[in-house]
Amino acid sequence: MVSERVPAGEARHLGQRERFDTLAARNALFAVGDVITVRVRRADGALAAFRVPYRKRMRVLDALISIAENEAPDLAFRWFCGSKMCGTCAVRMNGREVLACWEAVEPEMTIEPLRNLPVVRDLVVDRAPFDRKVEALEPWLERPAPYPGFPEPLTHTTMKGASKALDCIGCMCCYSACPVIGLGDLTDFAGPAPLVQLGQTALDPRNDPGKVARSLARTGIFNCVSCYKCEEVCPAAIPIVTQVIEPLKAKAALLVPGMAKHAQALRAVVAERGIVDPTALVLRVRGLKAMREWLRALRLLVRGKIDPIKTLFRRNTPARAAAARLLRKDRS
């Protein structure tokens, strides 16, 4: 149990601290000359093992460069800047997404390509599906009024959300970590990285709301399950869920109400009853269509997932007043 107050933005590192796995700890794990074991997923699908001598303050990228220079000159991995700006060197290290140039090495590392994107060769993934998604969202500014000239009136208070999203380097760590993207074509979810790219202009007060609505309508944003996997891996430390996706959802609910049917129904049910009543939720979301799915309804009934009797006759629960109060507060 952590009793101290957690500073803003640090919540994600709590687990690491408990495991004594902070950056400082990992930076101090090695002495120069120690040998690191690196296993790399190669193009043939097998893991190739290499032993790399530790160099001062070594990053994952240094280990890969060392392998390519000394042992496997044909190892394919993409990188340009080596200083957390180009966002092209992301890989998975021991199962989690990292930016190779930014992450300290570990004594035993398994390096694999990012998930959810086609692998071109070894650690290089095809960025084209991401590029196409971003382009389809048209993440640019359309001004509702003519540009007033430099410098235009604008405060950081109104730009805060967009400003966070502007830290995005398009490294695709979040895209690889996202379990909803992992479902493939089952949903039309654009994914965290394209949403952050969209957030750069959609959360910008200078953008035309109509334009933002058109973009948001193509995001499938309500498929996001707010699991925070994206935030956990973001090397730029962007609060992706709390400061980008949630504000975008709020915008979508306002500008494209049809998209938020489920979320709004849930909210209405909770406000009305103080609990999540599955029957009421199903009826509100599916409407009369729910009747046609009577077989499924029967199944839910048998399993005790829905309880129409309760729904019809027990509207007043003690939680009702509290829920209504909280939701009112939230809205203000």
Partner 1 sequence: MYGVACVGKGAAPPRLMHARPGNAISSRAQTVSLKWAAMQVESTDVVIVGGGAAGCYAALELHRRGVKTTIVCKGLIGKSGASIFAGNLVLSGRALGNSEEQARNTAEFLIKYHNQFLIDQNWARGCAQWIEKVYYPELEEAGLYLRRDNHGNVVTSPGKVRGVAANLQGNSGVPFMDLRRKQVLRAGIPRLEETVVTALLRRPDESVCGVFALNLVTGEYRVVLARAVILATGYSDRLHARSTGTREMSGDGIAMAWRVGATLANLEMQWWHTNDIADPPSWQRMQVYPNPMLGSEKSARMVNAEGEEFFNQQQDDPLAYGPYTVQLKALARQVHAGKARYDGGYYAGFDYCDAREVEAYTTYGKAFRQLGLDFPKAMVECAVTAHYRQGGIDVDTRTMRSSVPGLYVAGGLGGHSNGLIGLASYDGKVVAEGVAGELAQLDTSALPDAEVRQETLRLEALRTTRRDGVAVAQVKDKLRAIMWEKVGVEKSEASLNSALEDIVRIRLDLLPRMRLASTGRVMNYEWLDAIDVTNMVDACELIVLSSLERKESRGPFIRSDFPLQDNVDWLAANLMIRTGNGHRFAKRPYQTPFFQPNFDRKPNLAVSW
Among 14, 17, 18, 28, binds partner 1 (CB under 8 A): 28
Tokens matching residue 286: 């599916």
> Which 56-95 positions form the footprint of partner 1 (CB under 8 A)?
56-59, 61-62, 65, 68-70, 72-74, 76-77, 79-88
State in angstroms the smallest separation of the CB of 37 from partner 1.
18
Tokens matching residue 129: 């599906």
For 195-232, the three-class secondary structure string (H helix, E strand, C coil) is HHHHHHHHCCCCCCHHHHHHHHCCCCHHHCCCCCHHHH
Among 124, 173, 195, 241, binds partner 1 (CB under 8 A): 124
Nearer of residues 132 and 328 to partner 1, judged by Cβ: 132
CA-based nearest residue to 134, from 194, 190, 213: 194
CA 304 to mean position of chain CA atoms: 33
N- to C-terminal Cα separation, the chain: 33
Note whether 294 binds partner 1 by CB under 8 A. no
What torsion, rounded to 10 degrees, do the Cα atoms 199, 200, 206, 207 define? Answer: -50
What gap in Å lies between CA 170 and CA 150, rounded to an integer?
A: 29
Among 5, 8, 20, 152, binds partner 1 (CB under 8 A): 152
Nearer of residues 77 and 189 to partner 1, judged by Cβ: 77
CA-based nearest residue to 229, from 172, 170, 161, 179: 179
Nearer of residues 166 and 326 to partner 1, judged by Cβ: 166
Note whether 55 binds partner 1 by CB under 8 A. yes
Note whether 213 binds partner 1 by CB under 8 A. no
Binding site for partner 1 (CB under 8 A): 22-28, 55-59, 61-62, 65, 68-70, 72-74, 76-77, 79-88, 101-102, 104, 120-122, 124, 126-127, 135, 138-141, 143, 147, 149-157, 159, 162-163, 166-170, 200-201, 204, 206
